[in-house]
Amino acid sequence: MKQEDYLQSLLSEPSTAVREMESYAKEQRVPIMEPLGIEFLMQLLRIHQPKNILEIGTAIGYSALRMLEACPGSNITTVERDENRYNDALQNIKAMNVEDSIHVIHGDALDVASQIEKNGPFDLLFIDAAKGKYEEFFHLYSPMISKEGLIISDNVLFKGFVADDSEANPRMAKIARKIRKFNEWLVHNPDYHTTIVPIGDGVAITKRKQ
């Protein structure tokens, strides 16, 4: 934890609007990326420079807005099934005046693929939604990713329970087992290279083999 605290102390202070979103998410118990995780994601985007991004799991629009901050010229399609979070995301995106860059689709990502595909192909896929459905999301949306594209999956260490769920409650242990299964499937997938980075809540970086 000392190492994590040290790394967090090096992070730049976010804007007032970002701090307000972070406070709102904490108050409303809306899961958003941890500070080190979102900074890592933003740095990946600065390096990769994707022009067209697909996000599975908008929540309140936090990560979509931070990704746009890292890549101001990009277009982002993001999908959210919860109506309240969908409306919060629309409000936050409007407040930032970036409605032309971030397109939010309301619905279950497993049901709206045909609608999303119209906005593809995508240079980057970011998966941060229902943890037990990661493999389904991957199967459904990886064909929409460009040849040189990246696939980023968040929460793949899930509070440390993926490595050891002995102290997790039954619900958390069940989720951890599903993510563990996804991780093992992903890193052994013969069509992709995957690295899992132990930052934030665990980030998997996947690239199609050439």
Give 150-162 pLDDT, tens digit per residue: 999 999 999 999 9
Output the pLDDT for position 4.
86
Residue 100: both structure tokens together: 């032309």
- Please answer whether residues 64 and 35 qualify as being in contact, where contact means their C-beta atoms are separated by less than 8 angstroms: no
Q: Residue 178: which domain range?
A: 2-208
Supply the CATH number for residue 179's domain.
Answer: 3.40.50.150
Closest CA to 63 of 81, 84, 89, 83: 89
Q: DSSP state, 50? A: -
Q: Per the annotation, does 155 bind a ligand?
A: yes
Give 131-183 pLDDT, tens digit per residue: 999 999 999 999 999 999 999 999 999 999 999 999 999 999 999 999 999 99
Q: Per the annotation, does 33 bind a ligand?
A: yes
Q: Per the annotation, does 34 bind a ligand?
A: no
Q: Per the annotation, does 154 bind a ligand?
A: yes
| Cα 147 from Cα 195, distance rounded (Å) | 18
Q: DSSP state, 199? A: S
Number of domains in the chain: 1
What is the pTM for the complete model shown?
0.94
Q: Per the annotation, does 88 bind a ligand?
A: no
Q: DSSP state, 168? A: S
Whether residue 51 has pLDDT greater than 90: yes
